[in-house]
Amino acid sequence: MTVDEVKIGGLGAKRRRVEDSRFIRGMGNYVDDITLPGMLHMEILRSPLAHARIKSVDASAALAIPGVQLVLTGELLASRNLAWMPTLSYDTQAVLATDKVRFQGQEVACVVADDPYIAKDACEAIVVDYEALPVIVNPTQATANGAPVIRDDKENQHDNVVFDWEVGDKDGTDRAFAAADVVSELELHYPRSHPSPIETCGSIADFDRATSKLTVYMTTQAPHIIRAAVAMVAEIPEHMIRIVSPDLGGGFGNKVPIYPGYVVSILASILLERPVKWIEDKTGNLISTGFGRDIYLRGQMALRNDGKILGVRMHTDSDHGAFFSDAQPSKFKIGLMHAAFACYDIPVAHLTARGVYTNKAPGGVAYRCSFRITEAMFFQERMVQAAADDLGLDQAEIRRLNFVKDDDFPHRTPFGFLTDSGQYGKCLEIGLEAIGYEDFLKQKEEARKNGRLLGIGISTMTEPLGAGNSREYDILGIKMFDSAELRVHMTGKALLRTGAKSQGQGHETTWAQIVAHELGIPADDVVVEEGDTDTAPFGMGTYASRSTPVAGAAVSMVSRKIRAKARKIAAHLLEVSEEDIEWELGRFYLRSSPDSGVTIQECAMAAYSNLPDGMEPGLENNAYYDPPNLTWPFGCYIATVEVDPLTGVWDVLNFVAVDDCGVRINPMIVEGQIMGGLAEAYAMANMQFITFDSEGNCVGSNYMDYLLPTAWETPGFELHEVVTPCPHHPIGAKGVGECATVGGPAAFVNAVIDALKGTGVRNIDMPLLPDRVYEALTEGHDVSGSPPVRTDL
Ligand code: MCN
Ligand code: CUN
């Protein structure tokens, strides 16, 4: 009577996503679905200018509109010392502007009214007198002599530099370059983009005068962090704050930072003692909330003639917008940029990084990234291809030659990370085989003779996923770990809660699978809850694909605690000592007589009805898990493309992805994550960017300008898998949620550049719009830098 793990929805089962039954029937419960008695509505007035002094704000006409309950301005907030808030990166950010506006779309005032339409109309009735100031939209302008200081609110800020940071071994790297046969160079720009979940951000703050308790329903990927931040900033005791993150319509990193709208809705509810709802519109979301990327990269590689990489130099200039509000928990200024080149055996490297303020919306560093990893891996893989081209080497061969080998783990990366497992070569060979590498190279040569431009691009990378461990990661001093709490009811059904928060990744499905694997309780008998700080154990939320590495590990650990107690109960029921019983999935049995046993469900019932003497009743527990290291999944992405020389349009012929995320809890969900990630990678390479004109007007603030690929544009992807278990994770799993977005873009770009081989073009910056490809091809030069502002609008 052994339980069949796949049948009960355990590890490796392609279990259908349980949350989807409500999502696809329109029965999800999103913030905007929630209506509370007496609820008011808030709208935000945003700045039309990117940089301007505020001379006055006159709200009298707005206040006179029937149905308007409150107008909040920077001045009013300042009187309560709330006009500025701390950011997650030790900077400050204006909640509502007081002295100046610093980017287009910045929050200037908020109106609370009986309905959202009145509030919106009233926003338009507010008269703001601005005095326009010179605008800065890129790092070159930001660091030019005499550039206006954007952050003149900060005492010791006399320029626009946010940070100047370096890491690695400068002298050692210089020596490697001195010894190099060839130095390969590349400059790139990774344009600003936006996670753009379908659901925008929003909140309902409900301050209850009777109990003095503040409940906030909000779109957040990290409810406990928000609770702590509200407690610190608003000085409300932490136990009097309840943050509820209900169903989220996607996050992709957009819902990690703390936005002014959340803060003002809370203040408004406290002032009015009524619930206040704020739901951002699409333009508000695209124009003002956590963008990703926007970074200039310059790199050099020291190479031996045979292709061996001897050292790497990197410099980055990152554009953080008006406030340094990166939501990244590492101790490093530029996130995990220096995890670049982790899959290659490179002795030495050096990175310098400079961050600047500009008159653009503040960054979140978010967009399916692990804190600049997307840029790091793009850069790495573009560099490797450029190096192969410079040396006249095959692009697969240069990777083979430099990969960290399977038995060289643990491996110290050139910047000091410790990778612990992988089969990089195997992944690459599977990918090459699947795409038909050798054949394609021949096909490419043949096609050339007929004037057709075919290209193939490879991108291989290992990505640090997890955040923590607590040694290296914290948010404002709060250590990075995560948690799970499991209650097994007397009938053997269970409730599991974690400190993570799904935004669409399927935690309700996969966490139950881990419990099924550990305890043999069918996954369908386990309900999973996340996102309510009054019930969920403390956790750091979901980003950096940390849920499986950290909260998922906690689910295993708490299940094992439950199993340990159940074993004692089983011994009692079987009237033997604990040493005499064995465990198989779902059941304890007598070693001497395997037919005699008790199921986990029988143990659960006994936990409430028939306990050994002196044992505490009940079958529940919790676990806090601080992982010993990050997890290091690997991805190999290979694209073949054809470029139309007459138009610059490129089509994807084939795409192969080989992902190794260790043990897969739910292979179907993993494939869904990879498919979604590749669609975003394709978007980035092909069409997606937000740019600004010289006055700081944001071009990309709606779906006419900011393109999301639909099923129609998105190419098909062929997926393969390799499993190298994570050596420190309780079930051997590694994170996977971002791998494809991180590794994917370089495969597309490398393929297009490969198709243009022989024309002298080494680089076209993303997105590879047809006009940029056409220009590169016809004029034989690189097309670099910030994408042009669209003039056809
Ligand atoms: N999984 C698995 N086996 C593994 C690894 C993961 O079955 N070895 C499953 C997990 O159990 C989970 C899913 O795959 O159901 C993703 O797990 P994980 O890699 O741990 O990532 P997170 O759950 O922490 O999700 C975060 C990650 C990030 S940071 C972004 S951004 C992103 C992404 O996930 N945003 C998403 N994928 C998204 N998918 C959807 N639908 N919506 C988003 O907003
Ligand atoms: Cu950086 S986007 Mo995800 O880590 O939430």
* pLDDT value for 467: 86
Per-residue confidence band for 791, with pLDDT thresholds at 50, 70 and 90: low
The percent of residues in the chain predicted with pLDDT above 90, rounded, is 94
> How close is the Cα of 362 to the center of ligand 2, in Å?
16
Amino acid identity of 385? Q
Q: Which atom of ligand 1 is nearest to the CA of 507?
A: 15
- How many angstroms separate the CA atoms of 560 and 485, rounded? 12
Q: Which atom of ligand 2 is nearest to the CA of 369?
A: 1
Q: Determine the average pLDDT of the residues in 614-634.
A: 97
Q: Are 525 and 709 in contact (CB under 8 A)?
A: no
Task: Please tell me the residue having the least CA distance from ligand 1 atom 36.
Answer: 252
39-43, 164-168, 708-712: range with lowest mean pLDDT: 708-712
Q: Determine the average pLDDT of the residues in 782-789.
A: 80
Task: Please tell me the residue having the least CA distance from ligand 1 atom 20.
Answer: 548
> Which pLDDT tens digit goes with each residue over 559-605?
999 999 999 999 999 999 999 999 999 999 999 999 999 999 999 99
Mutate to test the pocket of ligand 1, among 245, 505, 661, 678 (most ligand atoms within 8 A of CB): 505
* pLDDT value for 121: 98
Query: Which residue carries 């608003």 as its tokens?
Result: 234
Q: Determine the average pLDDT of the residues in 207-214.
A: 96
Which of 292, 218, 214, 289 shows the shortest CA–CA distance to 257?
289
Which ligand is closest in space to the CA of residue 290? 2
Which ligand is closest in space to the CA of residue 293? 2
User: Is it the case that residue 2 has pLDDT exceeding 80?
Assistant: no
Q: What is the CA radius of gyration of the chain?
A: 27
Question: What is each CA distance from 153 to 92, 130, 158, 456, 659, in whole angstroms?
Answer: 10, 17, 10, 50, 47
> How close is the Cα of 666 to the center of ligand 1, in Å?
11
**Whether the CB of 729 sits within 6 Å of ligand 1:** no
What are the catalytic residues?
221, 368-369, 738
Mutate to test the pocket of ligand 2, among 503, 738, 742 (most ligand atoms within 8 A of CB): 738
**Whether the CB of 510 sits within 6 Å of ligand 1:** yes
> How close is the Cα of 155 to the center of ligand 1, in Å?
41
**Whether the CB of 665 sits within 6 Å of ligand 1:** yes
> How close is the Cα of 543 to the center of ligand 2, in Å?
4
The 3-state secondary structure of 702-719 reads CCCCCCCCCCCCCCCCEE
**Whether the CB of 17 sits within 6 Å of ligand 1:** no
* pLDDT value for 788: 67
> How close is the Cα of 735 to the center of ligand 2, in Å?
12
Task: Please tell me the residue having the least CA distance from ligand 1 atom 13.
Answer: 505
**Whether the CB of 547 sits within 6 Å of ligand 1:** yes
- How many angstroms separate the CA atoms of 629 and 468, rounded? 7
Query: Which residue carries 């770009």 as its tokens?
Result: 749
Task: Please tell me the residue having the least CA distance from ligand 1 atom 22.
Answer: 545
Query: DSSP for 470-538?
Result: TTTBEETTEE--EEEEEEE-TTS-EEEEES---SSS-HHHHHHHHHHHHH---GGGEEEE-SBTTTSPP
Amino acid identity of 526? V
Which residues 6+ apart lie within 8 Å of 509 measured at CB? 15, 16, 17, 18, 19, 523, 528, 666, 669
**Whether the CB of 664 sits within 6 Å of ligand 1:** yes
Amino acid identity of 533? T
**Whether the CB of 673 sits within 6 Å of ligand 1:** yes
> Which pLDDT tens digit goes with each residue over 534-563?
999 999 999 999 999 999 999 999 999 999
* pLDDT value for 793: 43
Q: Give bridge partners of residue 40 from the DSSP assignment.
A: 276
Q: Are 433 and 439 in contact (CB under 8 A)?
A: no
Per-residue confidence band for 696, with pLDDT thresholds at 50, 70 and 90: very high
Which of 255, 254, 252, 249 shows the shortest CA–CA distance to 19?
249
Which ligand is closest in space to the CA of residue 668? 1
Q: Determine the average pLDDT of the residues in 305-309.
A: 98
Q: Mean pLDDT for the chain?
A: 96
By CB neighbour count within 10 A (0-12 exposed, 13-18 middle, 19+ buried), where does 646 fall? exposed
Task: Please tell me the residue having the least CA distance from ligand 1 atom 26.
Answer: 545
Which ligand is closest in space to the CA of residue 363? 2
Six-digit token pair at 169? 């071994």
> How close is the Cα of 366 to the center of ligand 2, in Å?
5
Phi, psi of 552, deg, nearest 5: -60, -40
Q: Determine the average pLDDT of the residues in 656-661.
A: 98
User: Is it the case that residue 666 has pLDDT exceeding 60?
Assistant: yes
Query: DSSP for 53-68?
Result: EEEEEE-HHHHTSTTE
Which ligand is closest in space to the CA of residue 677? 1
Which residues 6+ apart lie within 8 Å of 81 measured at CB? none
Give the number of other CB atoms < 10 A from CB of residue 47: 24
> Which pLDDT tens digit goes with each residue over 218-259?
999 999 999 999 998 888 999 999 999 999 999 999 999 999
- How many angstroms separate the CA atoms of 113 and 272, rounded? 11
> Which pLDDT tens digit goes with each residue over 385-425?
999 999 999 999 999 999 999 999 999 999 999 999 999 99
> How close is the Cα of 674 to the center of ligand 2, in Å?
15
Task: Please tell me the residue having the least CA distance from ligand 1 atom 40.
Answer: 504
Mutate to test the pocket of ligand 1, among 673, 721, 726, 738 (most ligand atoms within 8 A of CB): 673
**Whether the CB of 735 sits within 6 Å of ligand 1:** yes
**Whether the CB of 368 sits within 6 Å of ligand 2:** yes
Q: Which atom of ligand 2 is nearest to the CA of 221?
A: 5
> How close is the Cα of 500 to the center of ligand 1, in Å?
11
Mutate to test the pocket of ligand 2, among 196, 291, 294, 370 (most ligand atoms within 8 A of CB): 370
Beta-strand ranges (E) seen in 357-449 are 411-412, 418-419
Which of 396, 514, 508 shows the shortest CA–CA distance to 5?
514
Mutate to test the pocket of ligand 2, among 294, 336, 369 (most ligand atoms within 8 A of CB): 369
